[in-house]
Structure 1
Amino acid sequence: MSAGAALAAVVVPVYNAAAYLPVCIAAIAAQTMPDFRCYLVDDGSTDGSGALCEQAAAGDDRFFVLHQAQCGVSAARTAGVRAARADGVSWVAFCDADDLYHPEFLRTLIGAARSSGLPAACCRYDSFTDAPPADAPVPEEAQRMMAPDHLDALLHDHRVDFSLCNKVYAARILDPADFDNGFAFNEDLMANWQVFNKIEGCAFVDFDGYHYRQHAASASHRPLAPASIDEQRRAAIYIRQHAAPEMQESADAFYYEKLVYLASMILRREDADRYRIQLGELCVGIRAGLEDKRLGRNPRLPLSIRVSAFATVHCTVLWAAVCRRLLKDRR
């Protein structure tokens, strides 16, 4: 680390987040580990977010602003990673502009990574709509997830999840190309898949260190673009094709579960006919895999997914009604 460099960097991609950005910045500023730089990457905002970023930097010398034409969240994160590496930080974390950190987020995860001797650490996240949840006590112990268990956890353990935002990474393991990966959907998953494949393991601290805000404009509540179905399937295919032998069974199960999940996302919608091409392709894959020991009969596959797969192709109308009634629509 160069002389005068901060220990850590927080990269925040910002696009039209003016309604939530001030409290996000305040939560980062309130970290109990103050030795960080925060890079606010304004991705062509038109709602005054850029001015809020400048205001934050003027009031706290730990905050820096990068302005760029709108290129998307992956490009914004890439710009932040490049700046952090150029400034010689040792650790990098990410936060979305409408979300909140637990005040112990940086201290706890960086401490867990250091004490475990591993180049990454993660925690759970919770979600909220209006008032954020109360900050939970922080455990003293961290779990070491060694390869290939950390990759298996990335694909199947919802405590670890696909997100970049509930993790910290040693700056030395990050390549900007890992983030600018050509995916507009599941870009977090693909970035983590590339990074996790390069490291020997990840520390896990079992507390809700990241508060994920759900609102009408957030990515998970925007209308479901047909292209997102194709991209999520493409990500699962890539992982299956590039999994190491010791991860193949896990990757096969992940791929098949993704097919079933994507079909359920379509079937739960009132406008499911809009996605008939994607649903048809998914059902072909699901049907073909029902008796396949690598897919529908994969020992890693949960019973609920096996039942859902059968219902998707053999009881489609009834299963669609169940999905609409029991599953939350993505709007």
Structure 2
Amino acid sequence: MMLGPDTPRCEVAVIVPVHNGAAYLPDCLAAIAAQSLHDFCCILVDDGSTDGSAALCDEAAANDPRFVALHQPRSGVSAARTAGVRRARELGAIWLAFCDADDRYHPDFLRTLHHAAQDAALPLACCRYDTFTDAPPADAAAPEAYRVLAAPAHLEALLRDHAVDYGLWNKLYAAGLLTEEMLDNGLAYNEDLLANWRAFLRAKGCAFCDFAGYHYRQHAESATHRALPPQSIDDQRRAAALIRGDVPAQWPELQQTANAFYYEKLVYLASMIHRRADADAYRVQLGELNIGITAGLKDPQLGRNPRLPFAIRAAAWATVHAPRLWRRICRKFLKDRQ
């Protein structure tokens, strides 16, 4: 695609998948429009919305030349992000960022991560995030300094450090780092984790900026509050298994971390089933998880992995040897996604 004389420069493309986000989208777009980095474009991908989001996307594009609106039939967040990346490449974007339609950027989010990635000569930068319900937290000053997580420390951090997290939205990527296949990877849950793992594998490190640059909104329809279908169990387990099988041979300690991550995921998913009132709907998934947890109890790569937290070892033992008691404990103390 040839860029016309009126096409805005697109150093950074911010991609926002939108599905029925009209209640929060204006706040999201206002925060993007207020970015202190001016050389960006924002690609809004309306994914079959029925609540007025499509009109809001068109209005933003009509009022601000930095915004572009795309519309597609309902295809899911991965397909929406992929469509946005495709458009970003057509616009000549050098960097890619993502934002969910109900969240908000810190005003210096793009500038800070862009500076850090360029200064460190790395194709990847990230920052912390915080959560809010009604009003976002006050924005602290963004730091000028950053810390380099050199490979494989950035991969360790992706799996173990909540500040780095699995999400695509608190990060900045060189446009050549992410491929469409990474984003549209066949998973509906933990798709961002798997995409990040594969992107991080291609980077020699990550520039980490220690500030809450991304504000993640918590509400009844957000991902952390929705009751998840049985497919979520299958997808999360598959993502962890794919990561475990995709560790470069030169990093044996990272393999140990990936093994522990996989086993912890099995235990966590089993606990997530136990805490639900409709646990019977997950009989097949729970049976498969129990087989894996039981087989791994005495395995030095899994249940006896030194990188596995003691609490997970105890939960694995309880899952296998005291399932009724463990179910009662899960239902009493583990309240999310019931």
TM-score, structure 1 as length reference: 0.96
Distance 2:126 2:175 in 1: 15
Pair 1:169-2:149 in alignment:
no
Residue 89 of structure 1 aligns to which amino acid in structure 2?
A
Q: Which residue of 1 aligns with 2:323?
A: 316
Give CA deviations for 1:157-200 in whole Å, capped at 9, x if unaligned: 11111100000001122211111111111110111111111111
Q: Which residue of 1 aligns with 2:75?
A: 71
Pair 1:330-2:332 in alignment:
no
Which of 149, 158, 175 does residue 154 from structure 1 map onto? 158
Q: Which residue of 1 aligns with 2:190?
A: 186
Q: Which residue of 1 aligns with 2:294?
A: 287
Q: Which residue of 1 aligns with 2:207?
A: 203
1:277 CA drift (Å): 1.6
Distance 1:132 1:304 in 2: 33
Question: Is 2:125–2:206's contact at 8 Å kept on the other side of the alignment?
Answer: yes
1:16 CA drift (Å): 0.6
Give CA deviations for 1:278-323 in whole Å, capped at 9, x if unaligned: 1121111111111110001111111111111112111222222222
Q: Which residue of 1 aligns with 2:238?
A: 234
Q: Which residue of 1 aligns with 2:266?
A: 259
User: Aligned ranges for residues 131-146 of structure 1 at < 5 Å?
Assistant: 131-146=135-150
1:248 CA drift (Å): 1.4
Question: Is 2:9–2:39's contact at 8 Å kept on the other side of the alignment?
Answer: no
Question: Is 1:257–1:305's contact at 8 Å kept on the other side of the alignment?
Answer: yes
Pair 1:126-2:133 in alignment:
no
Distance 1:300 1:69 in 2: 44
SS in 1 for 2:45: strand
Distance 2:299 2:159 in 1: 20
Distance 1:305 1:135 in 2: 35
SS in 1 for 2:142: coil
Identity of aligned residues (%): 64
1:244 CA drift (Å): 1.5
1:325 CA drift (Å): 2.2
SS in 2 for 1:85: helix
Distance 2:141 2:303 in 1: 40
Residue 322 of structure 2 aligns to which amino acid in structure 1?
C
Pair 1:103-2:102 in alignment:
no
User: Aligned ranges for residues 212-231 of structure 1 at < 5 Å?
Assistant: 212-231=216-235
Q: 91-100 or 318-327, which moves further after superposition?
A: 318-327
Distance 2:184 2:196 in 1: 12
Distance 2:210 2:273 in 1: 33
SS in 2 for 1:9: strand
Residue 148 of structure 1 aligns to which amino acid in structure 2?
P
Distance 1:118 1:154 in 2: 16
Q: Which residue of 1 aligns with 2:54?
A: 50
Pairs aligned (count): 330
Q: Which residue of 2 aligns with 1:32?
A: 36
TM-score, structure 2 as length reference: 0.95
1:140 CA drift (Å): 2.6
1:220 CA drift (Å): 2.5
Give CA deviations for 1:100-120 in whole Å, capped at 9, x if unaligned: 111110011111111111110
1:137 CA drift (Å): 2.6
Structure 2 regions of 5+ residues with no counterpart?
none
Structure 1 regions of 5+ residues with no counterpart?
none
1:139 CA drift (Å): 2.4
1:156 CA drift (Å): 1.2
Distance 2:303 2:287 in 1: 18
